[in-house]
Amino acid sequence: MATSSQTTWRNWGRNQTAVPADVVRPTSEADLEAIVGRGVAEGRTVKVVGSGHSFTDIACTDGLMVDIAALSGIRHVDTTNNQVTVGAGTVLAELNAGLADFGLALPNLGDIDAQTLAGATSTGTHGTGERYQSISAAIVGARLATGDGSMLDIGPGDGERFDAVRAGIGALGILSEITLQCEPAFNLHAVESTHDIDEVIETFDETAASNEHVEFYWFPHTRTGQLKVNNRTDEPIARRPKLKAFLNDEVLSNAGFEVLNRIGRRRPRTIPSLINAVMKPGDRFEFVAPSAEVFCSPRRVRFVEMEYAVPREHLLEAFGRVRSHIESLGQPISFPLEVRVLGQDDTALGTASGRDSGYIACHVYRGTSHEAYFAGVERIMADYGGRPHWGKLHRQSAETLAPLYPKWDAFQRVLSDLDPDGHFSNPYLDRVLRSTGFSKR
Ligand SMILES: Cc1cc2nc3c(=O)[nH]c(=O)nc-3n(C[C@H](O)[C@H](O)[C@H](O)COP(=O)(O)OP(=O)(O)OC[C@H]3O[C@@H](n4cnc5c(N)ncnc54)[C@H](O)[C@@H]3O)c2cc1C
């Protein structure tokens, strides 16, 4: 097991840093046991880090940072039940490619594939679709090192533990292996179209109900709405022409968007006219590609983000209020709002736990002030019992979060059981899970 010390760790958004006492890189489950033992012996907490794609300080530690990149890859495929057991440190891109080799795919994915499977599921990472669920909900088994260093297997027969571990926020132990319920590989027919935002809103409920994966973006200070609709199809692959794909993925979404944001930082008032110049109502393109290729795209423009889940029935009202809040801010916002939907699941602390949900995600270009913007959105979300994404900025604490989750007490029982001494805690987890902290032991 490799160890290195005193390097500054930074997350993808470049808004969180940590200086862990040591970074340890286990290559086996025996190493995990040894790491927990070392933490206990040295009086240090132990914190796993995935790909560092959370915007909160959820993965930060000044104790032992555990990088489980070596615990990766597909380990077992059950072709009868379409279930796959995977090393918890597997990056989603690698997982998707591996599943495709076996003719399998995950039913739903988020926007990117750079996260580790354990990191993504621990924070309840999700895509969109009223009849679909988060990646955590696809877990049918998990193996983790708990607070006494022993390895524990958890499955659907384990009740509260199973509900807690599938979206465990990194608090319950070190996940070593995860078993996922997959489905036969499928292609998606993708349609991306630009509209007046009010037209998107008026038809959204119907569009979301009659299609499988639906989301929309609204570009602040404009009337521009972009609708993305993806449905399973038996049609053969028909990718966008290379030039069109390059224009959309690189010029509009990555390099060009970076330039737009840099211009916007110097001349904020030009942002709406730049958006209007490149996105016109009536713009539309469609293509057919393997599911992971449609769900996930590269994101090279760095930003920070906050995302809340509200009961599905309040989504459009909440969106309308966020829209008004942005327009009254007096601060130009260059990044679009992203709006998604998701079916409920039975995880304890997933954002869609026990309720069909609508999501509103707010982003700002890195280095841009977001305090007034995000604080105002949080006030609106509070009126709808909004639940924050665990990996995206928020200011909630255990006191404000507890009433929002029907299975909060069940999660707390599992936490006391699996990590009674707070070996896996950090200041973030202390704040959101415990009234009295453990991480400053
Ligand atoms: C560009 C970008 C796009 C994104 N798009 C989406 C999206 O579409 N939908 C969405 O829901 N989210 C999205 N996110 C958020 C992201 O999916 C989550 O924050 C996710 O947790 C990041 O995974 P990670 O591997 O980087 O985990 P990290 O951020 O490194 O860690 C997250 C948590 O997981 C824990 N953890 C990691 N590995 C283990 C393990 N082996 N055992 C136990 N705990 C572990 C960590 O301790 C920590 O508590 C996006 C983030 C970025 C930067």
Structure confidence by residue, pLDDT tens digits, 49-82 = 999 999 999 999 999 999 999 999 999 999 999 9
Question: Is residue 134 in contact with ligand 1, taking CB distance under 6 Å?
Answer: no
CA distance to 31, 66, 196, 286, 390, per residue, from 71 (Å): 11, 11, 47, 38, 23
Question: CB-based contacts of 41: which residues, under 8 Å, 6+ apart?
Answer: none
Check pLDDT > 50 for residue 440.
no
What value does the mean pLDDT take over residues 351-379?
95
Atom of ligand 1 nearest to the CA of 173: 43
5: confidence class by pLDDT, cuts 50, 70, 90: low
Q: CB burial class (10 A; 0-12, 13-18, 19+) of residue 157?
A: exposed
Q: Which listed CATH number (1.20.144.10, 3.40.50.720, 3.40.640.10, 3.30.465.10) goes with 74-184?
A: 3.30.465.10
How many whole angstroms separate alpha carbon 428 and alpha carbon 62? 12
Concatenated DSSP letters of 372-402: HHHHHHHHHHHTTT-EE-TTS-----HHHHG
How many whole angstroms separate alpha carbon 370 and alpha carbon 226? 23
How many whole angstroms separate alpha carbon 143 and alpha carbon 157? 14
Check pLDDT > 80 for residue 44.
yes
255: confidence class by pLDDT, cuts 50, 70, 90: low
**Ligand 1, from 45, 54, 254: best to mutate by most atoms within 8 Å of Cβ?**
54
Neighbours of 239 (CB within 10 A): 12
* pLDDT the model gives residue 441: 40
* pLDDT the model gives residue 254: 66
Question: Is residue 391 in contact with ligand 1, taking CB distance under 6 Å?
Answer: yes
How many whole angstroms separate alpha carbon 361 and alpha carbon 305? 7
Question: Is residue 88 in contact with ligand 1, taking CB distance under 6 Å?
Answer: yes
Question: Is residue 86 in contact with ligand 1, taking CB distance under 6 Å?
Answer: no
Beta bridge partners of 339: 216, 360
Check pLDDT > 90 for residue 434.
no
CB–CB of 348/411 below 8 Å? yes
**Which token pair is 91?**
């990056």
Tell the residue nearest (CA) to atom 49 of ligand 1.
Answer: 170
Q: Which listed CATH number (3.40.462.10, 3.40.190.10, 1.10.150.120, 3.40.50.1100) goes with 187-388?
A: 3.40.462.10
Atom of ligand 1 nearest to the CA of 176: 41
Q: CB burial class (10 A; 0-12, 13-18, 19+) of residue 393?
A: buried
* pLDDT the model gives residue 239: 87
Of 41-45, 165-169, 272-276, the poorest mean pLDDT is in: 272-276
Atom of ligand 1 nearest to the CA of 391: 19
Atom of ligand 1 nearest to the CA of 53: 26
Antiparallel, parallel or unpaired: β 46-49 and 64-67: parallel
What value does the mean pLDDT take over residues 374-390?
98
* pLDDT the model gives residue 74: 98
**Which token pair is 202?**
């008026």
Question: Is residue 122 in contact with ligand 1, taking CB distance under 6 Å?
Answer: yes
Tell the residue nearest (CA) to atom 13 of ligand 1.
Answer: 125
* pLDDT the model gives residue 46: 97
Question: Is residue 334 in contact with ligand 1, taking CB distance under 6 Å?
Answer: no
Check pLDDT > 90 for residue 201.
yes
User: How far does the centroid of ligand 1 lie from the alpha carbon of residue 30, in Å?
Assistant: 25
Question: Is residue 116 in contact with ligand 1, taking CB distance under 6 Å?
Answer: yes
Calculate ∠ Cα 110-379-123, nearest 5°.
Answer: 30
Of 153-157, 236-240, 390-394, 436-440, the poorest mean pLDDT is in: 436-440
Question: Is residue 48 in contact with ligand 1, taking CB distance under 6 Å?
Answer: yes
Question: Is residue 110 in contact with ligand 1, taking CB distance under 6 Å?
Answer: yes
* pLDDT the model gives residue 249: 67
Do the domains at 74-184 and 187-388 have one common CATH topology? Answer: no
How many whole angstroms separate alpha carbon 3 and alpha carbon 23? 6
The dihedrals phi and psi of 211, each to the nearest 5 degrees, come to -130, 165
* pLDDT the model gives residue 268: 67
Among 308, 333, 331, CA closest to 383? 308
How many whole angstroms separate alpha carbon 167 and alpha carbon 268? 39
- Sign for the CA dihedral angle at 308, 314, 316, 320 comes to negative
**Ligand 1, from 35, 48, 96, 342: best to mutate by most atoms within 8 Å of Cβ?**
48
Tell the residue nearest (CA) to atom 35 of ligand 1.
Answer: 170
In b/e form, how buried is each residue of 394-403, taking b as 16+ CB within 10 angstroms?
Answer: bebebeebbe
User: How far does the centroid of ligand 1 lie from the alpha carbon of residue 354, in Å?
Assistant: 22
Average pLDDT of the chain is 93
Beta bridge partners of 232: 188
What value does the mean pLDDT take over residues 97-105?
98
Of 23-32, 166-175, 293-302, the poorest mean pLDDT is in: 293-302
The shares of helix, strand and coil residues in the chain, as percent rounded to the nearest 5, are 35, 25, 40
Question: CB-based contacts of 184: which residues, under 8 Å, 6+ apart?
Answer: 82, 103, 104, 105
Strand ranges of the sheet holding 387-388, from the earlier edge strand across to the other edge: 284-290, 187-196, 224-233, 213-218, 337-342, 357-365, 303-311, 387-388
Check pLDDT > 60 for residue 335.
yes
pLDDT digits (tens, 9 = 90+) for 127-174: 999 999 999 999 999 999 999 889 999 999 999 999 999 999 999 999
Question: Is residue 358 in contact with ligand 1, taking CB distance under 6 Å?
Answer: no
- What residues does each domain of the chain span? 74-184, 187-388
Question: Is residue 123 in contact with ligand 1, taking CB distance under 6 Å?
Answer: yes
Instruction: Give percent of the chain above pLDDT 90.
Output: 82
Question: Is residue 204 in contact with ligand 1, taking CB distance under 6 Å?
Answer: no
The dihedrals phi and psi of 233, each to the nearest 5 degrees, come to -150, 155
Q: Is 215 helix (H, G, I), strand (E, B) or coil?
A: strand
Check pLDDT > 50 for residue 189.
yes
How many whole angstroms separate alpha carbon 181 and alpha carbon 191? 27
Question: Is residue 118 in contact with ligand 1, taking CB distance under 6 Å?
Answer: yes
User: How far does the centroid of ligand 1 lie from the alpha carbon of residue 236, in Å?
Assistant: 33
Atom of ligand 1 nearest to the CA of 169: 49
Check pLDDT > 90 for residue 270.
no
